[in-house]
Amino acid sequence: MNPASMQDHRRPFQHYTARHFHWTCSDDGRVATITLNRPDKKNPLTFESYAELRDLFRDLTYASDVRSVVITGEGGNFCSGGDVFEIIEPLTRMPMPELLAFTRMTGDLVKAMRRAPQPIIAAIDGICAGAGAMVALASDFRLGTAKAKTAFLFTRVGLAGADMGACGLLPRMIGQGRANELLMTGRVMTAAEGQHWGFFNALHEPQEVVAQAQTLARNLADGPWFAHGITKTMINQEWAMGIEEMIESEAQAQAICMMTHDFKRAFDAFAAKQAPQFEGN
């Protein structure tokens, strides 16, 4: 097989046409921004937007241009979760097979986000609730504002806090005791709590949070982005490994990265006292 043919399955996403949210890209296509755009309802998700987000993150595995993704909401809020009248009310009338298809679809969105090689940065202002909180949790970085209010509201509608991977992801991030409290009571986690507990990487002013997220996304996109994808993969895989398997897996991962031109470029730049230029190969 011609090595060049391994690129044939990749395609650009800079001009992707979104149907249920806004999609924009930087001029070079490296940094993409998803903006949930139903501000009148605090940007809730619908069956259609769930499915499109799931499919988009799955397809970004094959992107030839996009190297990092910012996800945010329009109008001073991130996402209020599933739309009450377009999702919650129809769910009360669905038979079990359809309910299971829906809950599997929402979980597939989280899996697609975790499997996407691009670092995902959530820029969170205002309400970040229910499924919106899970989208934030599934991201690799979370930048918030002092007005951010994060809540896992599933118990408020008579459901378990175990939704979209919450019982696995949240305790690993903020600790089991804190996760128990948020998942069982459905109470709001303040921005200050979120930063102190490790949910937020940083807090910014509302007018700056998206720009700060895009700056971080740009830094990651211009860095050793192939290696970033390996790091993300290892973080996902090592949750279920023992220490011996962890160390062996990381030995293999690092050896793979040492075979990239980026590794040699970084050494040559260091030796020449210059900044390295990474190309992800």
Residue 36's SS3 state is strand
Query: Of 93, 88, 121, whose CA–CA distance to 106 is shortest?
Result: 88
Q: Are strands 149-151 and 127-129 parallel, antiparallel or unpaired?
A: parallel
Q: What is the mean pLDDT of each run of 10 residues along the chain (281 residues)?
A: 66 95 97 97 95 98 97 98 86 91 94 97 98 97 98 90 94 96 96 98 98 98 93 92 92 90 88 87 78
User: Measured between alpha carbons, how far apart are the two ends of the chain, in Å?
Assistant: 18
d(CA 133, CA 135): 5
Q: pLDDT at position 4, please? A: 57
The conformation of residue 83, written as its DSSP 8-state character, comes to: -
d(CA 77, CA 206): 10
Residue 267's SS3 state is helix
d(CA 260, CA 229): 13
Q: 3-221: which CATH number, 3.40.50.1820, 3.10.28.10, 3.30.390.10, 3.90.226.10?
A: 3.90.226.10
* pTM of the full structure: 0.94
Query: Of 71, 28, 11, whose CA–CA distance to 222 is shortest?
Result: 28
d(CA 154, CA 132): 11
d(CA 158, CA 112): 27
Q: Two tokens at 173?
A: 């991030």
Contact 106, 72 (CB under 8 A): no
- The secondary element (H helix, E strand) that includes residue 189 is strand 189-190
